[in-house]
Amino acid sequence: MKSSYTLVLAFLISSCSTAQIQSIDESKFVSIGGIEQWISIKGDDTSKPILLFIHGGPGSTMSQFENAMYTGWEKDFVLVNWDQRGAGKTYGRNAPSEVNEDYWMENSLTVKEMTADGIEVTEYILKQLKKDKVILVGTSWGSILGTEMALSKPQLFHAYLGHSQFVSFRDNFDYSYAKTYELAKKENNIEAIEKLESLGKPPYNNARSYGQLLRVVKSYEQNNSTEAPDTWFKLALAYDNEEDSKARYDGDDYSFIHFVGHEKLQIKSMAADIDFNQNGLTFEMPVYYIQGEQDILTAAAINKPYFDKIEAPKKAYFLLPDAGHGHNKSVVDKQFEIVNQLEIVQ
């Protein structure tokens, strides 16, 4: 009799525990910063820690992909993606159907406004999931926005993970040009040399020149790094349509021109004054950098000296030999290793 009672009690306790576990899988527009912005939240258990991903680009959204890159992470974390102001579905929701140069000129993007958006997104997520903090993950351009968010409202974040970390707009682009030119000369790559010499050293007064420089930079990074699997960037069915494709394409152009600036259109680079060496040295949460050794755009030569000067409760820097600028398997594996080792008080 006692044995039966014990089994029934154990079953009831187990049933109650299971019943209390709540999953979440929602994507919707939320009023952020006075406009509707697209946020997706996915996790098998809402009691798990929250990961907020700040995408790069600035227009390179991640929400539209099937979750092959972070497959299985939903068991241990709640994953949040956000299409930033001027990108993806957020851009498509707020821009007119036909956009011309006047729209670009009259609707600027600023780091200050997008940082405020990011804080508001964080506060919305915390309220929805009844949590106190999130883990913040920023990549490339997202590392600028992520750093600004972490510095602005540190009480909202368990930790900051910077991947392909920008430090200074000028220093990063100056290095990118010099390093790529050095590699091209070493290989006697006539095509690359002629392109770089025709561009001259940055800064440039137009977005097209920055785009041309980045194409050369990317070609050298790809030559020496392991790329991500194509399956990571397969569109989810809900996003595989003409309307969303147009929003992503147009938003990418719109965001990039505001990122680097374009003098003829009187658009100033929103990142030109970024230099975390001057105003980003003290963090109130743990800071972790994941850096590709083959990354030229946000190179270790620029962000490691900066990282060494950072003051934080805990910090660590990881240099990955086979990685360039962007994600690959070693980057994602290292991200998983870090977030799993974080000491998080729920």
What gap in Å lies between CA 344 and CA 346, rounded to an integer?
Answer: 6
Q: For residue 271, which amino acid is it?
A: A
Contact 132, 330 (CB under 8 A): no
**What is the pTM for the complete model shown?**
0.92
Tell me what pLDDT residue 346 has: 58
Tell me what pLDDT residue 2 has: 47
26 token code pair: 């929602």
242 token code pair: 């003409």
Contact 324, 295 (CB under 8 A): yes
173 token code pair: 């682009």
What gap in Å lies between CA 290 and CA 139, rounded to an integer?
Answer: 9
107 token code pair: 């609707």
Tell me what pLDDT residue 296 has: 97
Q: Mapping DSSP to helix (H, G, I), strand (E, B) and coil, where does residue 102 land?
A: helix
Q: Mapping DSSP to helix (H, G, I), strand (E, B) and coil, where does residue 76 land?
A: coil
Neighbours of 98 (CB within 10 A): 6
130 token code pair: 């009844």
What gap in Å lies between CA 24 and CA 6, rounded to an integer?
Answer: 33
Contact 21, 47 (CB under 8 A): yes
pLDDT in tens, the chain (346 residues): 445 555 544 544 454 445 578 999 999 999 999 999 999 999 999 999 999 999 999 999 999 999 889 999 999 999 999 999 999 999 999 999 888 888 999 999 999 999 999 999 999 999 999 999 999 999 999 999 999 999 999 999 999 999 999 999 999 999 999 999 999 999 999 999 999 999 999 999 999 999 999 999 999 998 889 999 989 999 999 999 999 999 999 999 999 999 999 999 999 999 999 999 999 999 999 999 999 999 999 999 999 999 999 999 999 999 999 999 999 999 999 999 999 999 776 5
Q: How many CA atoms lie within 13 A of 43 on its CB side?
A: 19
Please give the DSSP secondary-structure letter assigned to residue 309.
Answer: H
